[in-house]
Structure 1
Amino acid sequence: MAFSRADFPEDFLFGVATSAYQIEGHGFGGAGRTHWDDFASVPGNVVRAEHGGRACEHYTRWEEDLDLVRDGGFDSYRFSASWARVMPEGRGGVNAEGLDFYDRLVDGMLARGLNPALTLYHWELPSALQDLGGWRNRDIAGWFADYAEVLLRRIGDRIWSAAPLNEPWCVAWLSHFLGHHAPGLRDIRAAARAMHHVLLAHGSAVEAMRALGMGNLGAVCNFEHVAPADDSEASAAAARRHDAIINRWFVSALFNRQYPAEALEGLEPHLPVGWEKDMDHIGRPLDWFGLNYYTRKLVCAEPGPWPGLREIEGPLARTQMGWEIYPDGLSAILLRVHEGYTRGLPLVVTENGMASADAIRSGKVDDRARIAFLEDHVAAVLRARAEGVPVAGYFVWSLLDNYEWSFGYEKRFGIVHVDFQNLQRTPKASYHALARALAR
């Protein structure tokens, strides 16, 4: 790697991230059914109809995986808990085996000198709650707060940091308007309700965690660098609409207690009556803010209903996901969020990484493209810091090759290769390069 710890302050944290459904193996340990299990069972939704029933078997191999985090030189492990593993129906009954698992997992992190960075929800909603409307139902804010209290009464005393939800845009827009993720809806009214209720649930979970005496609470949103595809005013307007939906809707609500006008133009008629009264609840004070960044998008106008836009293919090199590699977008977004919203609050790059078609050859995985990707994006973090942005940490996505949602097990983001036949872990060249760069 072209960087080392010496390039950063002593208290800057490096970490690696995963999520529950993508690695644990949801078929183990008494977990309840999720809307991802349902979504994957419908032909055409997921590559080869693959699901997270086995995944990486982290549920039984967690000690080996935490050893990999420690031996990679990381300070912190960002993980998520599964709502359906803790409360199989989403409400009421608690799965003791699930709580025991997260208890062991957190203790295992601490025993290895790792800071446990918890995300309460990374996309697997209990099916029983989806039956009640899921994120379209305002009551989900209360259900989510109850789940937070159950889990964190057990492990909250040992959690270093916590965020309620990962990437609310994916929870709401990608899943309820574009239909690419569970529950697979293409419904603007459902999307608008989900866009609001996911933030309401965030506020309720923060309130529940504060009541338990927890600190170091944050939020995690995904961002793309958005640019017009050409010089026309129509494309510029389309880019502003896309930017409002993916980049500004959530961060503006959290810190400015308002939604951007370009998004309200299409969504306000579908929001619940009295939504304005919820903004103080949504905008509860936070201790840090996390940004997930992967790519840029070029946008042009598209005839048809609002939002009237489409993404076009740009000229830059792409990852296995087809996403353009644009490190300058990370430094630009960090600066923009700092100046326009968080205003001095510590920022953390909570996800950054790339998928590539990695294969084992002679017992090794030479993922030099990932090494270059990580080098360039860490350099972008350093540029943002040089401009006064208080970036306090950087997390690589992901520790393991895993279940990549609608792409099944085809797209490999891990710095550790997983053979999905025998589940053997093989650290890639990027893992070893990071271990050398992060050595103390």
Structure 2
Amino acid sequence: MTAGERGPGLPADFRFGTSTSAYQIEGAVAEDGRGPSVWDTFAAEPGRIADGTTGAAACDHYHRVDEDVALLGDLGAHGYRFSIAWPRIQPTGRGPVNAVGLDFYDRLVDKLLAVGVQPMATLYHWDLPQALEDDGGWLNRATVECFADYAAIVGDRLADRVTEWVPVHEPSVVTTLGYVADLHGPGRAMMFDAMPAAHHLLLAHGRAAIALRAAGAESVGCSNNHAPIWPASDDDADVGASKLVDAIWNGLYIEPMLLGRYPVDLDLLLDGTIHDGDLATIRQPLDFYGVNYYRPFRIGAAPEEALMPFEFREVVGYPTTDVNYPVVPDALREWLIMFRARLRAALPPLYITGSGCAYGVGPDADGVVDDQARIDYHAAHIAAVADAVRMGVDVRAYYAWTLLDGFEWAEGHRARYGLVHVDHETQQRTKKRSFQWYADLVAATRASND
């Protein structure tokens, strides 16, 4: 698909957008009453972040919001998915509202609408208030109650203008990298003892969905990280290991949200965690199901002495990004088709709420950021979505990750996913060639619709 074309097979009303998150772009972590989050704490620990940076300044979006909204206006995208920093609304995750923090997002929403961009708000994109983590974080069921209160506060303020909502972003990543392992905040490394965190994140999703709808939200969905799980071989041990990873990475979140049950193979890991009524709360009707896709996983059986019964193997034969992710657009098509076959009538309309790639090319001597690899990535993945649509999968939107080169979690600033290059010394923004390509694609879509 070349610049200016709308992918063949996409519906006339197909929407293109872009996504960010608060901790990755806002900065101003100690300003205007914002409290510390688990990521402020985690990033400050030596050795946690690959390049030693933190999100303390990030892209300084908090102070440069007008400039960034102008970029969104230039991009012309139909939608923008941003996240709200819980510690900016309630510095300790409970108690009184920090009015200055809530006002920031109120103004952001008005600015987005003024340039014709539909806001999609994510309530939780990993920046748990540190005070709640000190009390057990997502291992503590009480955190769910705090989150429901927070959802009601934000919904009451913004649901009159924000029509689309995501309560919890990628609970699988929070659980797996932050609680099972120690690669993300809060860095617990609890292995399978971390399963209550997954349940409480899902329960928080359900409670927040209820609170948002009570506040008048028109459309509530989710944003889950999914991937095809490929066995390393046809050997029974490798196939069995891949099925276990599929249950942990995919089924653990799909089945409660859409079917009201957990994968049977994981029941013992959740014994004693689930209360009566929990699964009904989690299984709230979804107006859309957000799929975030970056790569497939190849899984083999681990040696008997290993801590886990499976291990990740290299996916070979494909180009890779700067963070060594294999670029496999056809795996997105595969996932979407498999997802539809797996859920059928239980599956709501799908959005791609995040897909992107890390390439570190910067401005050349003429100030041009020639990131052709990023153009190729998005073009191929949008074409994969179009293939799935032609095969009957109801996909209605594609949100490119991400607008700005932000703080990419454990990778710090060295992994650049943005359509806009950010010099983190000067905070200068430079539109990449991919920005103009995406803008042309959106313009062609709008013209086709007109």
Counterpart in 2 of 1:339? Answer: 341
Counterpart in 1 of 2:300? Answer: 300
Counterpart in 1 of 2:20? Answer: 18
**Residues 7 and 382, structure 2, Cα contact 8 Å, conserved in 1:** no
Q: Are 1:388 and 2:392 matched, yes or no? A: yes
Cα shift at 1:307: 4.0
Q: Are 1:355 and 2:352 matched, yes or no? A: no
Deviates further, 1-10 or 78-87: 1-10
Provide the C-alpha distance between the structure 2 equivalents of 1:99 and 1:109, rounded to a whole number of angstroms. 16
| CA distances 1:9-37 after superposition (whole Å, capped 9, x unpaired) | 33211000000000011233321100111
Identical counterparts, % of pairs? 41
Provide the C-alpha distance between the structure 1 equivalents of 2:404 and 2:425, rounded to a whole number of angstroms. 15
Change (3 A) 1:164 1:365: same
Counterpart in 2 of 1:310? Answer: 311
Matches within 5 A, 1:227-306: 227-264=230-267, 267-268=269-270, 271-275=271-275, 277-303=277-303, 304=305
Counterpart in 2 of 1:398? Answer: 402
Counterpart in 2 of 1:218? Answer: 221
**Residues 172 and 225, structure 2, Cα contact 8 Å, conserved in 1:** yes
Q: Give 3-state SS (helix, strand or coil) of 2:30's partner.
A: coil
**Residues 38 and 185, structure 2, Cα contact 8 Å, conserved in 1:** yes
| CA distances 1:169-212 after superposition (whole Å, capped 9, x unpaired) | 01112210121100101113551110100001011001111111
**Residues 321 and 359, structure 2, Cα contact 8 Å, conserved in 1:** yes
Q: How high is the TM-score relative to the length of structure 1?
A: 0.96
Cα shift at 1:306: 6.3
Cα shift at 1:62: 1.1
| CA distances 1:118-139 after superposition (whole Å, capped 9, x unpaired) | 1000000000000110100011
Counterpart in 2 of 1:4? Answer: 5
Of residues 85, 95, 100 in structure 2, which corresponds to 1:97? 100
**Residues 196 and 273, structure 2, Cα contact 8 Å, conserved in 1:** no
Change (3 A) 1:190 1:131: farther
Counterpart in 2 of 1:118? Answer: 121
Q: Give 3-state SS (helix, strand or coil) of 2:158's partner.
A: helix
Change (3 A) 1:194 1:342: farther
Counterpart in 1 of 2:415? Answer: 411
Counterpart in 1 of 2:185? Answer: 182
Provide the C-alpha distance between the structure 2 equivalents of 1:39 and 1:68, rounded to a whole number of angstroms. 31
Change (3 A) 1:86 1:328: same
Of residues 363, 371, 374 in structure 2, which corresponds to 1:370? 374
Counterpart in 1 of 2:152? Answer: 149
Change (3 A) 1:342 1:201: farther
- The code of the aligned residue for 1:162 comes to W
Provide the C-alpha distance between the structure 1 equivalents of 2:171 and 2:182, rounded to a whole number of angstroms. 14
- The code of the aligned residue for 2:391 comes to E
Q: Give 3-state SS (helix, strand or coil) of 1:79's partner.
A: strand
Provide the C-alpha distance between the structure 2 equivalents of 1:314 and 1:283, rounded to a whole number of angstroms. 34
Matches within 5 A, 1:67-82: 67-82=70-85
Provide the C-alpha distance between the structure 1 equivalents of 2:193 and 2:404, rounded to a whole number of angstroms. 33
Matches within 5 A, 1:163-178: 163-178=166-181
Provide the C-alpha distance between the structure 2 equivalents of 1:90 and 1:148, rounded to a whole number of angstroms. 11
Q: Give 3-state SS (helix, strand or coil) of 2:225's partner.
A: strand
Provide the C-alpha distance between the structure 2 equivalents of 1:425 and 1:273, rounded to a whole number of angstroms. 47
Question: Which segments of 5 or more consecutive residues in structure 2 lack a partner in the other structure?
Answer: none
**Residues 338 and 345, structure 1, Cα contact 8 Å, conserved in 2:** no
Q: Give 3-state SS (helix, strand or coil) of 2:311's partner.
A: strand
Q: How high is the TM-score relative to the length of structure 2?
A: 0.94
Counterpart in 2 of 1:38? Answer: 41
**Residues 238 and 307, structure 1, Cα contact 8 Å, conserved in 2:** no
Cα shift at 1:96: 1.0
Counterpart in 2 of 1:420? Answer: 424
**Residues 301 and 310, structure 1, Cα contact 8 Å, conserved in 2:** yes
Q: Give 3-state SS (helix, strand or coil) of 1:351's partner.
A: strand
**Residues 28 and 59, structure 1, Cα contact 8 Å, conserved in 2:** no
Provide the C-alpha distance between the structure 2 equivalents of 1:189 and 1:438, rounded to a whole number of angstroms. 44
Provide the C-alpha distance between the structure 2 equivalents of 1:307 and 1:283, rounded to a whole number of angstroms. 30
Provide the C-alpha distance between the structure 2 equivalents of 1:360 and 1:94, rounded to a whole number of angstroms. 42
Of residues 321, 324, 338 in structure 2, which corresponds to 1:322? 324
Provide the C-alpha distance between the structure 1 equivalents of 2:39 and 2:356, rounded to a whole number of angstroms. 23
Cα shift at 1:281: 0.9
Question: Which segments of 5 or more consecutive residues in structure 1 lack a partner in the other structure?
Answer: none
| CA distances 1:329-354 after superposition (whole Å, capped 9, x unpaired) | 11111122223236352100000110
**Residues 5 and 437, structure 1, Cα contact 8 Å, conserved in 2:** yes
Q: Are 1:430 and 2:434 matched, yes or no? A: yes
Matches within 5 A, 1:56-67: 56-67=59-70
Report the RMSD for the aligned CA atoms in angstroms. Answer: 1.5
Provide the C-alpha distance between the structure 1 equivalents of 2:61 and 2:37, rounded to a whole number of angstroms. 18
Q: How many residues align?
A: 437
